[in-house]
Every structure is written in C-alpha cells, then in structure tokens.
Structure 1
Amino acid sequence: MRRSPWAWLAVLTVLVLIAAAFWLRTSDEQGRAPAGTEASPAPATAKAPIRPDAPMPPADLPAAAQAILPVEARDMLALAEAGGVRAACRLGSLLASCGSLAPQFYSEETEAELRVMELSAAGEGDLQRANQLARAMLVVRTRRQHCHDLPGELLARAGGYLRQAALAGDREALVRYIRGDAFVGIGFSQAQTLHNPHFDQWRREALTMLHAGFEQGRPEAVLLLLEAHSDVGGPLALITPVDPLLDRAYLQLASLVFRDFALPDDFRPLHPDETLDRQARALALRWHREHFGGRQFSVGDATLGFGSAIRDLENRRWVGAGGWRPACTEAEETRQ
C-alpha cells in the first residue's frame, strides 16, 4: 500500500477535473489578451512566523469579512469562540471542506467550461469521463452555494477549530483533524499550507494522537492507520514513515477488527512476502487482543468524520460506510 509523494492526489479526481477546467478557461483568456499586456504580479503577503504550540489566531475578522458571512457561519463562529465543542467541530469541518478547493475553481465560468468538456466527452462516447465531469459540475455548484462568502482568513482556521473540538473529546473532530482535512487544497500554493499557523502543530501531533486512539481500541484508528500507510492517505500519509511490515500488519488487523472489511478500490494491493506476512500476522493478532479485546466492529461504526461536510463528495472509499451525513450532528453518546 505504499505511496509516492503525490500519489494521494488520485482520490481527488473530481477536484482535479475542476482545476483543469479552470486552467483551460484562464489559458484561453490569456491567449486572447491584447499584445503587449502583462499579468499583474500577485501582491506580496507577510508570512507569520510558525511557532511551536502557536495559539489559534484571534477571531476578530475584518469588519468587511464579518459582514459577508452567512448567518449560519456567523452563529457557528460565535459559539465556537465561546468554547462550544459541537460548533467548533461543525465550523472546522465546513471550513476544511470549503478549503479543499480554491474559490476561483467554483466560479460560474469554471462550471460552464466543465459543461463543454462533459458534452465533448459524451459526444466521443466516453461516458465514464462524462459522468465524472457531471459530478464535478455538481461539486462546483454546491461549493459556490456553501463556500463563496467564506473569507480566506476564516478558511485558514479550519485546523484550529477542529483541534479545539478534538481536544475537548469530540471523536469526529479528532478524525478530521488527524486526517489533515484542513490541509488539503487544490489551487493553493505550498507556501499557503506551510505557513498556515496550524499546520506545523498538526504535523507534530497528528501521529501521536492517532496512536493514542489505536492503543485505546478505537476502530476508526485502524482505518486512519490504513490511510496513513497507503498511496491515497492525503497529508497523513506524507508524514508517516515508510514501513513495509506495518503496512501489512495494519491491513491484517483491519480484517480482524472489521467483520465486513474490504480493501478499497483505490488501495494498491501489497506484493506477497512470506516472512513479512508472517510477522505482520503475529503483530495483528497481538494488537487485536491487547488493544481491541478481540472485539469486532462494522466499518460503518468507524467512519464518522471520513466524509465531506458538504453534500457533494460522499465517502465512497470504505465499503459499508453508508451514505452522506452532515458533519458533527450525531448524538452526543456516539461522539465521545
């Protein structure tokens, strides 16, 4: 299940199609620009120093940004800043989902370009690609509806709000935080991610949080460890050391912990290795006994927090996960 540094982008096919449509449109516009014109340089932005254990930035957004926030977002922001765990989880989840695609990609122009691409693919008989493009149009339209009024200053705080709720004991927020959902973004520069005040903190503590949940027998930790040791595990996979033995051991553990486990289609099967497989089996059996008491779960019991907070990109990786559900709305007893 090992990865190359950029292999995790395979799970973002729809988002990449959207980005491609945007670039095609902007390239076409640049090609039609009058001769002698030059693009204006991007304005310089000051980079805040990254400090260990940096606190979350103050919530006083500029007045103009506050004024355009949707009512629901303003309410969640006020409750989260007052210490509300559920509000921090919902707000962080929404901001992370909205931040997975740069605002320029969900414009009406990008949607129109996707429509042209869809019609072209259908005309050529490529129905699979046409369906992907139709889904991408839905994503653009839904993101525009939910995200277009959220300012960048607030989107950058997704990780902080998820961490706030996670440290208060919210299991869904903990999953979203550990996965690094707040740090996946098509159309954002590497500098925008690395200089996010919450990124360095997440990078240093995510694996520790993950292994703590694993030792407590949390079934969702097994799925997170599988993603961390895969080609398609997003930011979490990029900070996880390569270890062929653990790759196999967590995969074998999943088949013990989940009665309905199936390897996702986007995971690359491991090559047989008799020695490693035998050692991995021994580790998996010991972990199942010591950390999970030999219990079994269904995959649906462990996928809270694995899907998008916006109903456009459902969690289709884990068989048995069920359909889309709103973020951070489960009953309290299921969230501790």
Structure 2
Amino acid sequence: MRRGHDEVAGDASEPAAPLPGLTSLPVEPSAKPTRAVARYDANGTPRPVEPLPPLAELVARADGGDARAACQLAAELHACREKAVLAGPRRRGGNEEHPNRCSDLIEKYGGRHFNYLRQAAFAGEPEAMLRYAKGEAFGVPGESYAFLSTPDFDTWRREAPAMLQAVFEAGYPEAALHLMLAQEPIFGGQLAALLPPDPLRERARMELMVLFAGQHPEAAKIAASLPRADPALQQEAQALARRWHLEYFNGLEVDPNTEPTDHGMPLMAGSGQACSQPIPGLKK
C-alpha cells in the first residue's frame, strides 16, 4: 500500500493510535450475517490443510461464487499487505516462497479486498467473519485513515458488531478475545470505540478467559490479573460467563500457552488455510 498525503506519519511497527472521531452505532446490521460454520463437525475431526492453489485459479473460483476461495484470497491479501508495510518500500510485495504472488495480489486485487472478505463472511466462513469484523479489509491499522471516508467503512461499522457476535455464538474463542479487546483504545484496532459500553458483558468476557483456561495452572494467574470490580457486578458477570461457556463453547478448554499452529486458537493464524475447517478444541 502506498503512503500518501492522507496517511498518518509514524513508524508502522509502533502500536496504532485509536481511530479518531468514532462513536458507537446501533448493533442492528445493514445485512444479517449468516450463521458461522460450526466449530465441530460430526466426529470432531478437522479437514487436512491443503496448500493454496495458483492465484489465477483462486481468483476464478472466488469470482464464480466460491466463498472459501474468497476467504483464502482475503486472508492472503491481508498477510501480503502487512508484509509490504513491515518490509518497507524497497522490499514491498516480497514473498520468500512466491516472490511475485504478493505483488500480483496487491496490485491486481488489493482494491477488491473488502468485497472478497465480505462475500466470504456473509457466506458463513468463520475465518472470514472474524477477519471482516476486525476490519482487516481496510489494511494495516495506523498506516492510513483514508478508508474512514469511504462507503465501505460505513457498511462495515454497521455490520461488524453483529458479525463478531455470530462468530462468538458459533463457539470460536477468538471472537471472545476480540470482543474483549474491542474496548481497548489501542489494541482494539478498528473495533475500538465501535461497540457500545456494557460493563456487565465487558466483565463477563474477561471472566470467560478464566473459564477457557480450565484447570490449567495459568487460570489462577489470569483470574488474579483481572481488574477489581464491584462484587455484585463480578458475581453476575461470572454467572453470565459460565452460561456462555456452556451454551456457545460446549465447555471448551484451551491451554493458554498453546501456539495457534497447535490448534490453540487456530483462526488467529489461519492464513486462509483454516477457511471452512471445523477445528476441535483441546478438550470438549
């Protein structure tokens, strides 16, 4: 992505500043998200990861309505745009495995990033739903704020909260994490200041992280690290978190030290290859 007069100066490697001038919008979306592909399939076995096909084939499939291909394209576009920013102007578009693939993706299809991601998200692809809700289609946070004045941004603002909630209710702990981080002015990214304040649910999301840790020794540390809260609010939030944990996550427990590549929170590092994959938790 090129830097221009509408971009914010600064080192892209530093934490992004909160987006200026955003206020909460009603949760009601302009389009209702499709329910996400369930986290578990019939026997709890994930589909084997397949290598990404040639770019021309992937684009043709996505343009033909293949939601998984659109999901893979969007995920790869984000990775390429991120690498280009981190690499700097002399190495942008570089990819060790496929040196021309990233540059071709950005040059030819970068302008369609939003459309591919939204297509896959509304088809119920969980990785695309999470990426769409996070605002990935607008590039690397902090590099440019040009997207703030686009119609796509207004569309996204009205759809992102319900989209993220749909992934949460489908049993993906990544969505719970991003719902929690959405209240953080820096780490919330595009979602920061978008969700309306709700002290009960905000605290319940924190308590849910403790439940995900289960019997792991880290659970006590996570609980101790939570900020103090009014006892009545904390009690109500813990009850709500327990209800969510059973209703949406089937009592899922995840080792807090497990790397995403070991299926701890797979969508966090899916890179498009997790699209459509029902990936089971460590414990069910």
TM range (shorter): 0.5 to 0.7
Aligned to 2:26: none
Residues 1:326 and 1:209: Cα distance change in structure 2 (over 3 Å): closer
Aligned to 1:285: 242
Question: Counterparts of 1:174 and 1:189 in 2: how far apart (Å)?
Answer: 23
How far did residue 173 of structure 1 move? Answer: 1.5
**In the alignment, is the contact (CA less than 8 A) between 1:103 and 1:148 conserved in 2?**
no
How far did residue 152 of structure 1 move? Answer: 5.2
**In the alignment, is the contact (CA less than 8 A) between 2:183 and 2:192 conserved in 1?**
yes
1:198 is the counterpart of 2:152: yes
Residues 1:248 and 1:328: Cα distance change in structure 2 (over 3 Å): same
- Which of residues 7, 13, 22 in structure 2 aligns to 1:16? 13
Structure 2 spans left out of the alignment, 5+ residues = 1-9, 17-29, 32-52, 220-224
Any idea what the Cα deviations from partners look like across 1:31-61, whole Å, max 9, x if unmatched? xxxxxxxxxxxxxxxxxxxxx77xxxxxxxx
Question: Counterparts of 1:101 and 1:331 in 2: how far apart (Å)?
Answer: 25
Question: Counterparts of 1:154 and 1:189 in 2: how far apart (Å)?
Answer: 18
Question: Counterparts of 1:258 and 1:88 in 2: how far apart (Å)?
Answer: 33
Question: Counterparts of 1:103 and 1:281 in 2: how far apart (Å)?
Answer: 41
**In the alignment, is the contact (CA less than 8 A) between 1:210 and 1:221 conserved in 2?**
yes
**In the alignment, is the contact (CA less than 8 A) between 1:102 and 1:187 conserved in 2?**
no
How far did residue 142 of structure 1 move? Answer: 4.0
Aligned to 2:89: 107
1:234 is the counterpart of 2:172: no
1:274 is the counterpart of 2:230: yes
Aligned to 2:23: none
Letter in 2 for 1:304: P
Aligned to 2:268: 306
Structure 1 spans left out of the alignment, 5+ residues = 1-12, 20-51, 54-70, 112-138, 264-268, 308-324
Residues 1:247 and 1:190: Cα distance change in structure 2 (over 3 Å): same
**In the alignment, is the contact (CA less than 8 A) between 1:220 and 1:302 conserved in 2?**
no
Q: Which structure has more RCO (C-alpha within 8 Å, separation ≥ 6)?
A: 2
**In the alignment, is the contact (CA less than 8 A) between 2:204 and 2:237 conserved in 1?**
yes
- Which of residues 255, 258, 272 in structure 2 aligns to 1:327? 272
Q: How large is the Cα RMSD of the aligned pairs?
A: 3.8
Aligned to 1:255: 210
- TM-score for both structures, normalised by structure 1: 0.54
Letter in 1 for 2:64: A
Residues 1:217 and 1:185: Cα distance change in structure 2 (over 3 Å): closer
**In the alignment, is the contact (CA less than 8 A) between 2:165 and 2:175 conserved in 1?**
yes
Instruction: Name the larger-Rg structure.
Output: 1
**In the alignment, is the contact (CA less than 8 A) between 1:89 and 1:173 conserved in 2?**
yes
Any idea what the Cα deviations from partners look like across 1:146-195, whole Å, max 9, x if unmatched? 5333455621321221221122222211221122122243675322x124
Question: Counterparts of 2:118 and 2:275 in 1: how far apart (Å)?
Answer: 18
Aligned to 1:224: 178
1:73 is the counterpart of 2:55: yes
How far did residue 203 of structure 1 move? Answer: 1.2
What is the DSSP-based 3-state SS (H/G/I as helix, E as strand, rest coil) of the residue aligned with 2:267? coil
What fraction of aligned residue pairs are identical, expressed as a percent?
35
Higher helix share: 1
Alignment of 1:89-168 (within 5 A): 89-100=71-82, 106-108=88-90, 142=95, 145=99, 146-151=101-106, 154-168=109-123
Question: Counterparts of 1:261 and 1:156 in 2: how far apart (Å)?
Answer: 46
How far did residue 252 of structure 1 move? Answer: 0.4
**In the alignment, is the contact (CA less than 8 A) between 1:99 and 1:182 conserved in 2?**
no
**In the alignment, is the contact (CA less than 8 A) between 1:102 and 1:185 conserved in 2?**
no
